[in-house]
Chains A and B, each alone.
Chain A
């Protein structure tokens, strides 16, 4: 393909691509994102390709492995255009039927459609599915429509038109002003206004400036950036080039975590393609603007998502944050002005340039504009990526989109904002998500992780888990973080093991204050958040652990005992047969008894006890009742019941 030299040529080229594609021809889009691949999407793609080949449909039907549309719970996802028929949990053996019915005869294979769990209603189109209905997907929407390895697909959908508009119709200052006006706030964590950050760099005297994509997504359970990097890399690249233009930078970087190999491949490919088309490199679209992009892979440190640690790492040194009190947009990478924004922030830039700041500010709340992608995970029916306008309530996200809590369990809290975020309890579910709203509730937006916790989750253990994660990931440079986390982790572990002491909560609070106030970087300053928010809303759980040696959620192994209720046990023997520790004594028609000394508290008996009996219970904070006397162990109830 020849270079595209002007915005007009890009437009002509787009028309050419479109003219070669008959909009009425079927296109089979199969999600090739990490979640669907794990559920077998690769085999499904292969099956489609083979079956289409076999039936000689190659010229008429297009098959593509696409980016992640977000409904990971039901993968592999297949969407067939132009009708937008959506099939879920597709297996390779379903493929011949789909081709036969849907492609050749325009019939819907109902058994592969999503059924609304409440009403049983069949959702034929993607947009009929409750999970998608309440979303507003401006950033994620193209993922399922694009072969993530094809720049033509991106261009066909209007890709790089924002770049053409910026370079062709707008001055660099116009672009900057538009982004400022949009009040786009950073999607990576702190929510700093992107336009102001850009302006600072632009106005800094140093002539060499950099723009950087923070693609070091590392929060447990978060994968929104991954979906964009893997699924629609050009949208991020386009945003980055526009950012470079706006601040007069000619060099950009992708800092991608090594654990995202597919993202690295797709980004590199996107850069190569953009260069070939003349959308990157020298004299882009004939504008005279030059821009180069490099990809740098992280080496597995969570702290490298922190701006100064990322830049230190990018310079080739150990990823530790800098102690300096100078903003990195003034003195960043190699001490030069550097604009670092998160993947999702950059992906919003082309939209703002194309549709205008007024469109962007029409979505969202007073202080948080646009949409936000959340990764909804944990105890939730519809695990996946959710893009909603800022201001959507947590309740809507969890119940309308997420489909509520599985197995009829009760909601307890939602953890937002990654390890440095916090837990929000049930009575705040009407909270509208936004940067300031979440911070006010003691949590934060972070990069958009949302972990739903149900009644079986122990909040002390949740705090312990996140503190453990941060202890592992602390760089170790400053005392409040390194030593503070070490001790917080120790105390929390003790509490969950029933070794909590009076005064532990106060000590934790003191350590938290020191970490928040005195740590060097954002990791340390945020390190106490999981602790503080659980203390704020679930202090009674801490107190129960410490004072009564009781875990109210019946989750902390060292504080619970398994007990078979003699009135309920029917002597079926399921628990005895499955117990890996040989800790259960019993026989046919004999009430079973758990030997507490042998029990390893693995919970197998609790899980396998038939629900019609539900005789195995968990106890905490109370002594296990004396075992039933031998002469009373024979089960007679059953005989009685028969006699009736």
Chain B
């Protein structure tokens, strides 16, 4: 593996080819916020909160660090007025869905985000896709997926698979930043899992 050298926030950093800026920053102990990233999963590039500034041969551009590959001699800045402003907007947009999600509350504090900036929406899913991707890539069950697109996009358990696989797995549960996943699970369980005993009735 060839060594790649560059700079993050004034600090010289070494990384190997194929790593992302986020990987390299983590190794160097430099913190970049993320919401949709998980080390076991392929980079998704959905939340865009890990956005950073890259200066490459005099050209400056904004890229998301979870996907951008390391390169020799680039200068990476993880904070700037612009980056902070964009991160703040992203957090505020997501807080219209999940104003009390601990990960968002923490970021909101750091970036001065106003949880009430935008009109609230009913769904508290922030579409990080961690559950969907974990189920596909790691658990390899595909018991949950995205349905529809754009602002109507939602996560959805596939009842036939979920009824069989989920009760004994639930590995995705701790990944959900908003606990919308758990709510969706209760719903699919209640609506469509076969009821073999009186257990559900008693619980309900």
Q: How far is the CA of A401 from the CA of B104 in the complex (A)?
A: 55
Q: Which residues of A contact B187 (CB under 8 A)?
A: none
Q: Is A479 within 8 A of B90, CB to CB?
A: yes
Q: Which residues of A contact B151 (CB under 8 A)?
A: 471, 474, 476, 482-483, 485-486
Interface flags for B126-156 (1: CB within 8 Å of A; 0: not) read: 1100000000000000000010111111000
Q: Is B149 within 8 A of A474, CB to CB?
A: yes
Q: Is A487 within 8 A of B149, CB to CB?
A: no
Q: Is B150 within 8 A of A471, CB to CB?
A: yes
Contact residues of B between 60 and 104, Cβ < 8 Å to A:
62-64, 66-69, 82, 85-86, 89-90, 93-94, 96-97
Q: Which residues of A contact B162 (CB under 8 A)?
A: none
- Contacting residue for A487 out of B44, B45, B119, CB 8 A: B119
Counting CB contacts under 8 A, is B173 at the interface?
A: no
Q: How far is the CA of A456 from the CA of B94 in the complex (A)?
A: 37
Counting CB contacts under 8 A, is B22 at the interface?
A: no
Query: Distance in Å from the Cβ of B154 to the closest Cβ of chain A?
Result: 9
| B-contacting 9-mer, from A236-244, A515-523, A599-607 | A515-523
Q: Which residues of B contact A485 (CB under 8 A)?
A: 150-151
Q: List the A residue with the shortest CB-CB distance to B145.
A: A318
Query: Distance in Å from the Cβ of B129 to the closest Cβ of chain A?
Result: 8
Query: Distance in Å from the Cβ of B93 to the closest Cβ of chain A?
Result: 4
Counting CB contacts under 8 A, is B51 at the interface?
A: yes
Q: What is the interface size of chain A, counting residues whose CB is below 8 A from a CB of the partner?
A: 32
Q: Is A323 within 8 A of B64, CB to CB?
A: yes
Given contacts A478-B46, A478-B48, A517-B82, contact A483 B150 (CB under 8 A): no
Query: Distance in Å from the Cβ of B51 to the closest Cβ of chain A?
Result: 5
Q: Is A323 within 8 A of B118, CB to CB?
A: no
Query: Distance in Å from the Cβ of A502 to the closest Cβ of chain B?
Result: 15
Interface flags for A200-238 (1: CB within 8 Å of B; 0: not) read: 000000000000000000000000000000000000000
Interface flags for A501-524 (1: CB within 8 Å of B; 0: not) read: 000000100110110011110000
Q: Is B67 within 8 A of A323, CB to CB?
A: yes
Q: Which residues of B contact A186 (CB under 8 A)?
A: none
Given contacts A510-B89, A518-B90, contact A482 B153 (CB under 8 A): yes
- Contacting residue for A514 out of B43, B90, B127, CB 8 A: B90
Q: Is A323 within 8 A of B44, CB to CB?
A: yes
- Chain A binding surface SS class: helix
Q: Is B45 within 8 A of A483, CB to CB?
A: no
Given contacts A473-B150, A520-B46, contact A514 B68 (CB under 8 A): no
Q: Is A477 within 8 A of B46, CB to CB?
A: yes
Query: Distance in Å from the Cβ of A505 to the closest Cβ of chain B?
Result: 15
Q: Is B48 within 8 A of A480, CB to CB?
A: yes
Q: Which residues of B contact A477 (CB under 8 A)?
A: 45-46, 127
Q: How far is the CA of A325 from the CA of B61 in the complex (A)?
A: 12
Counting CB contacts under 8 A, is B176 at the interface?
A: no
Q: List the A residue with the shortest CB-CB distance to B91.
A: A479
Q: List the B residue with the shortest CB-CB distance to A483.
A: B93
Q: How far is the CA of A511 from the CA of B64 in the complex (A)?
A: 18
Counting CB contacts under 8 A, is A490 at the interface?
A: yes
Counting CB contacts under 8 A, is A472 at the interface?
A: yes
Query: Distance in Å from the Cβ of A515 to the closest Cβ of chain B?
Result: 9
Q: Which residues of B contact A323 (CB under 8 A)?
A: 43-46, 64, 66-67
Q: Is B153 within 8 A of A478, CB to CB?
A: no
Counting CB contacts under 8 A, is B47 at the interface?
A: yes
Counting CB contacts under 8 A, is A616 at the interface?
A: no
Counting CB contacts under 8 A, is A590 at the interface?
A: no
Given contacts A325-B67, A482-B153, A487-B119, contact A510 B45 (CB under 8 A): no
Q: Is A476 within 8 A of B94, CB to CB?
A: no
Interface flags for A295-336 (1: CB within 8 Å of B; 0: not) read: 000000101000000000000001000011100000000000
Q: List the B residue with the shortest CB-CB distance to A519.
A: B48
Interface flags for A453-480 (1: CB within 8 Å of B; 0: not) read: 0000000000000000001111111111
Q: List the A residue with the shortest CB-CB distance to B49.
A: A479
Query: Distance in Å from the Cβ of B147 to the closest Cβ of chain A?
Result: 10
Q: Which residues of A contact B44 (CB under 8 A)?
A: 323
Q: Is B86 within 8 A of A483, CB to CB?
A: no
Most buried by A among B62, B85, B93, B119: B93
Q: How far is the CA of A408 from the CA of B51 in the complex (A)?
A: 51
Counting CB contacts under 8 A, is A484 at the interface?
A: yes
Q: Which residues of B contact A479 (CB under 8 A)?
A: 46-49, 90, 93-94, 126-127
Interface flags for A366-410 (1: CB within 8 Å of B; 0: not) read: 000000000000000000000000000000000000000000000
Given contacts A482-B127, A483-B96, contact A490 B68 (CB under 8 A): no
- Contacting residue for A476 out of B64, B82, B119, B150, CB 8 A: B150
Q: How far is the CA of A476 from the CA of B67 in the complex (A)?
A: 18
Q: Which residues of A contact B66 (CB under 8 A)?
A: 323
Most buried by A among B67, B150, B152: B150
Most buried by A among B43, B47, B89, B148: B89
Q: Is A513 within 8 A of B64, CB to CB?
A: no
Q: How far is the CA of A511 from the CA of B90 in the complex (A)?
A: 9
Q: Is B47 within 8 A of A478, CB to CB?
A: yes
Q: Is A324 within 8 A of B67, CB to CB?
A: yes
Query: Distance in Å from the Cβ of A261 to the closest Cβ of chain B?
Result: 23
Q: How far is the CA of A478 from the CA of B82 in the complex (A)?
A: 19
Q: Which residues of B contact A517 (CB under 8 A)?
A: 51, 62, 82, 86
- Contacting residue for A513 out of B49, B85, B117, CB 8 A: B85
What are 21 A-B contacts with C-beta separation under 8 Å?
A301-B149, A318-B146, A323-B45, A323-B67, A471-B150, A474-B151, A475-B149, A476-B150, A478-B45, A478-B47, A478-B48, A480-B48, A482-B153, A483-B151, A511-B89, A513-B89, A514-B89, A517-B51, A517-B86, A518-B86, A520-B64
6 additional A-B pairs beyond A303-B149, A475-B153, beta carbons within 8 Å, are: A323-B66, A324-B67, A479-B94, A480-B93, A490-B119, A514-B86
Top 8 closest pairs, chain A to chain B, by CB: A323-B45, A476-B153, A483-B93, A474-B150, A514-B89, A518-B48, A476-B150, A323-B67
